[in-house]
Amino acid sequence: MPSVYNWQLGRGMRYPYEQASPKEQFAFVININRCIGCQTCTMACKSTWTFAKGQEHMWWTNVETKPYGGYPQHWDVQILDKLEQANPGEQRWTGTPNGNPKKPYGKFAGKNVFEVPHAVARGKQPNQVLGYLPPDEEWRFPNIYEDTPQHGESKPMEFGKGEELSGDKKHKAWFFYLARLCNHCSYPACLAACPRTAIYKRPEDGIVLIDQKECRGYRKCVEACPYKKSLYRGTTRTSEKCIGCYPRVEGKDPETGGSPMETRCMAACIGQVRMQGLVKVDKDNAWVEDRQNPLYYMVHVAKVALPLYPQLGTEPNGYYVPPRWVPLPYLEQMFGPGAKQAVERYRNPDRELLAVLQLYRRSNQIISRFEIKEGPKVYEAERNGKKYEMYDDTVIAFNRGGKEIFRTQVEEPVYIRPAKHQNSI
């Protein structure tokens, strides 16, 4: 059985195919702290790709309220529970988050969805992937438990003395919106499980697609995807999934004049919380250093964005800035051991991070590189017992061709309408 390297787990792992990597990898960073749960992203995808007969239940991207919501229902609890039952008490991380891009979160010492079937096979031919097929009723409610909070004694995130934001400790109820789509994983479980090799990962951008001519609707991908982002369509008897809006990523949309364009769900985001891009990876699928790429910066330099359930083992390429008001054990279960550091960093952003966060949704083009032009100090205060300074820096975004797409400032400019235009539109 070939072994591949999973940098999110900090170790090699079992996978049914040889190590391979795309030229560039489709990835995205969603800032949960600012998502308002408006579902504009959900509807942008739906109205573009899944409006046909037989696709009524298909939500390639959806926004669910955590901890109780899920589409299908309890998808994450169910797969985590299966892994725990197969490897009781051993699903843990060792080491500490560090600066090594080949193992930034330490090492996952437990077993993932590719490893459990082999561990429990006992001489029989194992399945390629641990999974389950949700029954129809679990797909019925795309937004069940919307805005339902968790109550109880769970303590909010614990920080050092004097580091709490005022009010943090008063809230015992919490929820947050988790916007999800296919993670175009580096080691897709859907692809590993397909007996007809109908699923492939594009060598140019790592987008994972199902060949509709080859698919016979066995639903092995639906069963295997731990994120449940491959869906079955009864009218065609094939499975379908997010296609990463590949014509846009290829630069086919006339709006960008040939330059890669962000997907529909990213571009439509009202809350300005979704950023999608392309990152360079090495032969192990670890990200090649590219400090001025905003995605690389947020994941590997600022370490403010983390993969969703990295312990499942597919090396998902969807990253999230974790919500700062949620109990740490929950965040660590969902995003791995880097959660505390990520929240601390987001709560106390330095000058560079604050500027990079302004890049969200100023353009539909994929940002390949950013530059920062320093501006004057505009604010100074004491926050969490520390001195805090804010600068009105300008951040400039460039597309793949090196052309400036836009520039924007940390402090939003104020324009005063001349008196002669008052009461006019």
Nearer to ligand SF4, 198 or 372 (CB): 198
- Beta carbon of residue 302, minimum distance to ligand SF4 (angstroms, whole number): 20
Q: Which residue is nearest to ligand SF4 (CB)?
A: 271
- For residue 113, report the phi and psi dihedrals to the nearest 5 degrees: -65, -20
- Beta carbon of residue 36, minimum distance to ligand SF4 (angstroms, whole number): 5
- Beta carbon of residue 24, minimum distance to ligand SF4 (angstroms, whole number): 16
- Beta carbon of residue 152, minimum distance to ligand SF4 (angstroms, whole number): 26
CB 158 within 8 A of CB 329: no
Query: Which pair of tokens denotes residue 292?
Result: 């001025």
Nearer to ligand SF4, 266 or 331 (CB): 266
Nearer to ligand SF4, 181 or 397 (CB): 181
Task: In the chain, count H helices and then E strands.
Answer: 11, 19
- Beta carbon of residue 410, minimum distance to ligand SF4 (angstroms, whole number): 21
Nearer to ligand SF4, 239 or 293 (CB): 239
- For residue 80, report the phi and psi dihedrals to the nearest 5 degrees: -65, -40
For residues 303 and 305, give the distance between their C-alpha atoms in angstroms, rounded to a whole number. 6
Nearer to ligand SF4, 202 or 264 (CB): 264
For residues 365 and 279, give the distance between their C-alpha atoms in angstroms, rounded to a whole number. 15
- Beta carbon of residue 163, minimum distance to ligand SF4 (angstroms, whole number): 28
CB 321 within 8 A of CB 31: yes
Partners of 407 in the β-ladder = 396
* SS3 of residue 103 by DSSP: coil
For residues 123 and 136, give the distance between their C-alpha atoms in angstroms, rounded to a whole number. 33
Nearer to ligand SF4, 199 or 372 (CB): 199
Give which of 210, 217, 159, 192 is closest to 344, Cα–Cα: 159
Nearer to ligand SF4, 31 or 391 (CB): 31
For residues 318 and 350, give the distance between their C-alpha atoms in angstroms, rounded to a whole number. 24
Nearer to ligand SF4, 100 or 143 (CB): 143
Nearer to ligand SF4, 65 or 87 (CB): 65
- Beta carbon of residue 159, minimum distance to ligand SF4 (angstroms, whole number): 26
DSSP for 23-72, written as a single string = SEEEEEEEEGGG-----HHHHHHHHHHS-STT-TT--SSEEEEETT--SS
- Beta carbon of residue 226, minimum distance to ligand SF4 (angstroms, whole number): 7
Positions that interact with ligand SF4 (CB under 6 A): 35-41, 44-45, 49, 60-61, 63, 177, 179, 181-185, 188-190, 208, 225, 227, 229-230, 241-245, 263-265, 269-271, 273-274, 314
Q: Crossing angle, helix 328-335 and helix 339-347, to 10 degrees?
A: 110
For 108-133, letters b (16+ CB in 10 Å) and e give bbbbbbbbbbeeeeeeeebbbbbbbe
- Beta carbon of residue 207, minimum distance to ligand SF4 (angstroms, whole number): 9
